[in-house]
Amino acid sequence: MSLNQLLSSIGNIIPLNKSEKEELSQRVVERKIKRKQFILQESDICKHYTFVAEGYCRKYKVDDKGTEHNLQFIAENDWITEINSFYFETPSRVFIEAMEPAVILQISKPDLIYLYSSSPKFNRIFRVIIENRFAELEERVLHNISSTAEERYLAFIRTYPQLSSRIPNTQIASYLGITPEFLSKIRKNLKLV
């Protein structure tokens, strides 16, 4: 059951005692989300820190020309939020959307603030969660500025082997910052080699 998934995922960071688990469990709300349904829409305020238990999501931004740009894919047992919008209560500039039917667990900001005060461990947990994501993001920037599209594509499928097979190529292209046509070209090339 998805709450256990969340507890064990957090337990990997720091083991929680019974009362901490209680506190956390009581403040988490489970939701079932359809494919293509939004978890967060642009210009809304991001009210939750979200744990993905089943399915996967994408976080993307729409630019002035209406083109979508994928910032992140979020697989099972991973956390997603829009930090700026969540903490500063400013309108979100991104969408978060389920790519497959999903089960998510959400914590509201007041509840999270409560948890931070109830045990210092929670502060630490959410610091570690964002630090992990930060390291990942920095890795990505590095690839973006130092690798060709082909190298980035190979790195992507190497880093997310299971997930990448579930993601349509259009979406992967948008994540890599190239057109789907050029991704096709790259894939064709790789087959020849």
Residues of this chain that interact with its own copies (CB under 8 A) are 61, 63, 67, 69-71, 83-84, 87, 116-117, 120, 123-124, 126-127, 130-131, 133-135, 137-138, 140-142, 144-146, 174-177
Residue 126 interacts with, from its own copies, DNA, none (CB under 5-8 Å by kind): its own copies
Helix (H), strand (E) at residue 50: strand 48-54
Does 180 contact DNA by CB under 7 A? yes
Question: Which residue, 1 or 192, is less far from DNA as judged by CB?
Answer: 192
* One of 60, 150, 156, 175 touching DNA (CB under 7 A): 150
Going by their DSSP bridges, the two strands 95-98 and 29-33 should be labelled as unpaired
DSSP output for 68-98: EEEEEEE-TTEEE--HHHHHH-PBPSSEEEE
Contact 77, 57 (CB under 8 A): no
Does 178 contact DNA by CB under 7 A? yes
Does 100 contact DNA by CB under 7 A? no
Contact 132, 74 (CB under 8 A): no
Question: Which residue, 35 or 69, is less far from its own copies as judged by CB?
Answer: 69
Apex CA 166: angle with CA 100 and CA 108, to 5°? 40
Residue 148 interacts with, from its own copies, DNA, none (CB under 5-8 Å by kind): DNA
Torsion 15-18-20-26 (CA) sign = positive
Smallest distance, its own copies to C-beta of residue 148, A: 11
Question: Which residue, 103 or 153, is less far from its own copies as judged by CB?
Answer: 153
